[in-house]
Structure 1
Amino acid sequence: MRIRLKPKHFGALLPTDILFQTVFWGDVKSRVGWEVRAFDIGLREPSGDILVLTRSIGRGIKAAYVPQGPEFGPDPENYGFFLEELSEAMAEHLDPTVAFIRYDLPWESHYAREVREQIWPGRPEPRLREMRMNFGTKSWNLRKTTVDMTVADTMVVDIRDTEEAILSRMKPKTRYNIRLAGRKGVEVSLASAEKLPAFYGLYCQTAARNGFFTCGYQHFSALFSALTSGPGSPDLLFLLASRKEDLLAGAIIAISGRTAVYLFGASSTENRSFMGSYAVQWDAIRRARSRGCMHYDMGAVSPALDPDHPFHGLYRFKTGFGGRIVHRCGSWDYPFNQDTYDAFRKSETAGGEFENSRKVHNLTSC
């Protein structure tokens, strides 16, 4: 049966633990140049909704982006068929200049069990993943993106238990570093938006040190400008760790429903022996737990212990906090204009032809 979509204002999105499918996130993205749409989704009756973002990628062409959505999906063997139906239904409501839809799927990967049990060191090559995803579809049109977004493999810590129990599940070295920070006089405090410039400088320093993509300062401003006091609205924890006059580390954590999400982190290149980053993460866990959160999503890690993976350092740091790795499907494209899409793919990896290809390429947080 064909999926039906009913347009609505994004301000009417249903509450969800998925931050990137909330009214708040739509407001953030609208402040940094995205067009924001929302749809009720279902068969005969609405069974959920979806936030969709669009923007120009140059040459009079637009791209659509679904951040960590849709929230609810079918049985894994029907992922592709569902996405095909959803994409074709969405095409009837999108601007005809939209060349493709990019889905950053929150659903569990087809290969999660094999990765968890180390049957495979990672996922199969894209060609084989595309064959499985497209099985049962009419057009075989779903394409694996060149690089997964940062939520393809994420570390999630269960924080429903007591603080003592949470600490007991951590690696001994992590517990030691948390306590070491306290002994060295590191203090973590809630900061206001006035401290953003100092945090942003630290954030850029961290990105340069690790070779990560950086978001523009306007995105950080938008995060705080979009905050509301409405019931069920996401909130932000802006934490800074310092020792005397020295700023050591910081983090911006969003709380949506029962889930806390680590959005951005930063640490000073100097004074790293004071373990400011460990103090910040432990403080975030304690504060999120006190606000009724059940899970703390620490964000990107490599899917397994792999020294050659660009997120290997994140894996080493975050696995110390005693969580589990959630393996998601990653990012998938559904092209409407194949020639334009193929040109965009080339531009995305090599740069050049499309002015906003880099911005579309790394959109989970920015």
Structure 2
Amino acid sequence: MTEQTPAPGAGTTTDLSSAPARLPLTVRPVTADEATETLLELGGSFLQTLNWARAKQGWRRTHLGWFDADGRRVGAGLVLARRIPRLKRSYAYLPEGPALPWETVAHDPAAWLDPLVAWAKNDGAFALRLGFPVVSRIWDREPVKKQVAEGGLLSFTTMPSAVDSPVARRLEAWLDANQWLSIGGDGVAVGQPRLLCIVDLRGRTVPDLLRSMNQQWRRNVKKAEKSGVQVRTALAEGLDTFYDLYAESADRDNFLPRPKAYFDLMARSFMSEGADSPVQACFYEAHVDGDVLASALMIRFGRTFSYLYGGSTERNRDARASNALQWQAMQDAVAAGCDAYDFRGFNTSLGATSPLTGLLLFKLGAGADVVEMVGERELVISRLWHFAFEKAMAARIAINKRRKASRASEDGADI
């Protein structure tokens, strides 16, 4: 893989390469359609779309545009703001955003980020959190699989990477020097994951993808074909089937499932746009003679095809329905002209017997490499309000932990 490996929000191919943005820059609200147009130009994430905003209850949304001195819109971002009740203060968050020409930004981050900070202050934000969608490092799958096989915790701080981005290094150095604090660790415990499993689709055919899979994966694809597994798609009508399989997987693998209402809202937010929408979402269902054995929620935005959640049953496990489902989705991603198939994040705190270890190996076996993003950083604007917010969040987390008991969640926190 190369440094330009695509990841959600990490696209850098824009008209700005031939006509750089002229400073100074300004930030102001734009329409959702205007923001979407810029997101598509810059390879932005589906987490920056109006659809995602609609799925986040309790958050106020604002679409922002970056404009250069010539009035050109050169960037866009979705700001989700959670207000403190009865007060005009809020926590502002851009998940996997904003979408900017990051190779240009890295040469002068202040010129691009200071206008956003000024807007956030004026809007009443006491803290600003960004999920910087910039590829930092990439590890080929083989050394990762070797470390998993040797047991113990995965440590990407000591494992040599195949790619180490100078763009990310410049950006991170500026962030460190300007009080943008890193949030969380390698795993998916807080916010959006920093480490992703991504299959690079650029310039590759379906036979190429099959050859890049490990031997066990190829065997399972053939076994699924011989077992009569077929894959179809469903919209909101597939929610009940999906959730039954997802809940069964949660019980089997001992992770805390999200409530069904969460997925109902996701389906209504993402699956009612029509075939012409730039955001396409559906449930993939792998079945044998109508008996659905595996289901997964998929989203395609721009040139990235993302696997969000999935579930499977113990029935007819030898049919390898999950392999068939993912393989069909990958073929569809190639047919749609996508650059990346995103398996999303994983937890690095894996033991040899953890079910999540098997999930990581499943993704790597499909041909994915591990891609590290610069990830989530937080700038505290008002220490007093931020302290009060942290106390409230800590109390909320403590309550949730008591509810979870000893069960571990595979997925990131809902923030």
Q: Which category describes the TM-score, using the shorter chain as reference length?
A: 0.7 to 0.9
Q: Matched residues in 1 for 2:351 and 2:76: separation?
A: 37
After TM superposition, the structure 1 stretch with the greater mean CA deviation from structure 2, 175-184 or 186-195, is: 186-195
**Partner-residue secondary structure (3-state), 2:36:** coil
Flag structure 2 segments of 5+ consecutive residues without an equivalent: 1-22, 145-153, 159-168, 405-411
Q: What is the aligned-residue RMSD (CA, Å)? A: 3.8
* Residue pair 2:138, 2:370 contacting (<8 A) in 1 also: no
Quickly say closer, same or farther: Cα 1:107–1:116, change in 2 above 3 A. farther
Matched, 1:88 2:117: yes
Matched, 1:201 2:244: yes
**Partner-residue secondary structure (3-state), 1:261:** strand
**Partner-residue secondary structure (3-state), 1:71:** coil
Give, in angstroms, the shift of residue 167 of structure 1. 0.2
The alignment of Structure 1 onto Structure 2 pairs a total of residues equal to: 349
Aligned to 2:34: 12
* Residue pair 1:133, 1:142 contacting (<8 A) in 2 also: no
Q: Matched residues in 1 for 2:260 and 2:74: separation?
A: 37
After TM superposition, the structure 1 stretch with the greater mean CA deviation from structure 2, 216-225 or 164-173, is: 216-225
Aligned to 1:144: 182
What is the 5 A alignment of 1:1-366?
Answer: 3-15=25-37, 16=40, 17=43, 18-29=45-56, 32-44=57-69, 45=71, 46-56=73-83, 60=87, 62-72=90-100, 73-74=102-103, 81=110, 85-94=114-123, 96=124, 98-109=125-136, 121-123=155-157, 135-136=173-174, 140-147=178-185, 148-159=190-201, 160-212=203-255, 214-226=257-269, 227-229=272-274, 231-244=276-289, 246-301=291-346, 312-345=357-390, 348=393, 351=396, 362-363=413-414
* Residue pair 1:258, 1:293 contacting (<8 A) in 2 also: yes
Quickly say closer, same or farther: Cα 1:164–1:43, change in 2 above 3 A. same
**Partner-residue secondary structure (3-state), 1:362:** coil
Q: Matched residues in 2 for 1:49 and 1:307: separation?
A: 42
- Alignment deviations for residues 144-201 of structure 1 (CA, whole Å, 9 cap, x no partner): 2235544311122133422211100100101111111222222221123122022112
- Alignment deviations for residues 280-308 of structure 1 (CA, whole Å, 9 cap, x no partner): 10011122222222321111135799859
* Residue pair 2:121, 2:381 contacting (<8 A) in 1 also: no
Q: Matched residues in 2 for 1:123 and 1:59: separation?
A: 43
Q: Matched residues in 2 for 1:2 and 1:66: separation?
A: 22
After TM superposition, the structure 1 stretch with the greater mean CA deviation from structure 2, 99-108 or 299-308, is: 299-308
Quickly say closer, same or farther: Cα 1:309–1:146, change in 2 above 3 A. farther
**Partner-residue secondary structure (3-state), 2:328:** helix
Q: Matched residues in 2 for 1:302 and 1:138: separation?
A: 25
State the TM-score, normalized to the length of structure 2. Answer: 0.71
Quickly say closer, same or farther: Cα 1:49–1:115, change in 2 above 3 A. same
Specify the code of the residue in structure 2 equivalent to 1:257.
G
- Alignment deviations for residues 100-133 of structure 1 (CA, whole Å, 9 cap, x no partner): 2221221122x55899989x93249xxxxxx997
Quickly say closer, same or farther: Cα 1:351–1:214, change in 2 above 3 A. same
Specify the code of the residue in structure 1 equivalent to 2:338.
C
Identity %: 25
